[in-house]
């Protein structure tokens, strides 16, 4: 792996947003996620490699350290901020710029859940694959999903959950959507989920990452 990617991974893991950021003190004055992402792109590293070799492994490390009580919520939050600083530079590369859209995709993080980094990656990749995306944000109640589904009857819906507690909140969301629009296709995703879970709650599919969800969406056209 290139030194730049290693530095980027470290910046996100330690929450170094950019050069001006005073945190963490040991990296004061040094470049951060913002600058290293730009450098990696200038060096010709592909946005997908930046994501898969630096961004996602960095968040895995953060999660691991959180599980081991080596870091706490504020550090997770600052890592998330660093991750977002990096994603800003990747976004344009995932945007297709196609005139004709393949369809509409409505996505949100289920109510009770505030995690949105994974969802935002899904948004970027699905937009990049030519879909019009309506992003409902985080902590989304069933009514907000059903309202949008009624406005866009042909849309496909994606729901994200990152917690073993909030994944169960997907059950009433799926039910509410299917009640107002039985033909609406729903894909669920997020680290604690599985195909079995998706099936059990009546969703049409589970996708482990944006790439898999794009493949599944293509089968619907």
Contacting positions for ligand B12 (CB under 6 A): 56, 59-60, 62-63, 66-67, 73, 76-77, 80, 107, 112-119, 121-122, 158-160, 162-164, 187-192, 207, 209-210, 213
Q: Pick between residue 40 and residue 71 the one whose CB is nearest to ligand B12.
A: 71
In the complex, least distance from residue 74 CB atom to ligand B12, rounded to whole angstroms: 8
Q: Pick between residue 38 and residue 81 the one whose CB is nearest to ligand B12.
A: 81
In the complex, least distance from residue 50 CB atom to ligand B12, rounded to whole angstroms: 12
In the complex, least distance from residue 55 CB atom to ligand B12, rounded to whole angstroms: 7
Q: Pick between residue 42 and residue 187 the one whose CB is nearest to ligand B12.
A: 187
- Cβ-based neighbours of 203, under 8 Å, separated by 6 or more: 159, 170, 174, 186, 187, 188
Q: Are 210 and 190 in contact (CB under 8 A)?
A: no
In the complex, least distance from residue 29 CB atom to ligand B12, rounded to whole angstroms: 25
Element (H, E) at 36: helix 33-42
Query: Helix or strand or coil: residue 189?
Result: strand
Q: 135-146 burial, b for 16+ CB within 10 Å, e for fewer?
A: bbebbbbbebbb
Q: Pick between residue 20 and residue 114 the one whose CB is nearest to ligand B12.
A: 114
Q: Pick between residue 107 and residue 177 the one whose CB is nearest to ligand B12.
A: 107
- Cβ-based neighbours of 195, under 8 Å, separated by 6 or more: 206
Q: Are 119 and 109 in contact (CB under 8 A)?
A: yes
Strand pairing category for 156-160 and 132-135 = unpaired
In the complex, least distance from residue 114 CB atom to ligand B12, rounded to whole angstroms: 4
């Amino acid at each position: 792996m290139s030194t730049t990617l290693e530095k980027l991974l470290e910046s996100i893991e330690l929450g170094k947003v950019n050069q001006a950021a005073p945190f963490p003190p040991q990296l004061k004055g040094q470049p951060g996620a913002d600058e290293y992402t730009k450098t990696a792109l200038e060096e010709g590293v592909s946005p997908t490699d930046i994501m898969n070799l630096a961004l996602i492994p960095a968040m895995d490390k953060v999660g691991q350290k959180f599980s081991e009580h080596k870091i706490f919520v504020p550090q997770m939050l600052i890592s998330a901020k660093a991750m977002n600083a990096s994603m800003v530079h990747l976004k344009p590369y995932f945007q297709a710029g196609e005139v004709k859209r393949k369809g509409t995709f409505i996505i949100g993080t289920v109510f009770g859940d505030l995690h949105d980094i994974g969802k935002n990656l899904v948004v970027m990749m699905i937009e990049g694959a030519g879909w019009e995306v309506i992003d409902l944000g985080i902590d989304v109640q069933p009514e907000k999903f059903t309202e949008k589904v009624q406005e866009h009857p042909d849309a496909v819906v994606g729901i994200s959950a990152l917690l073993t507690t909030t994944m169960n909140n997907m059950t009433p969301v799926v039910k509410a959507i299917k009640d107002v629009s039985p033909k609406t296709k729903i894909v669920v995703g997020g680290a604690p989920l599985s195909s079995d879970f998706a099936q059990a709650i009546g969703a049409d599919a589970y996708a482990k990452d944006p790439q898999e969800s794009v493949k599944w969406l293509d089968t619907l056209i």
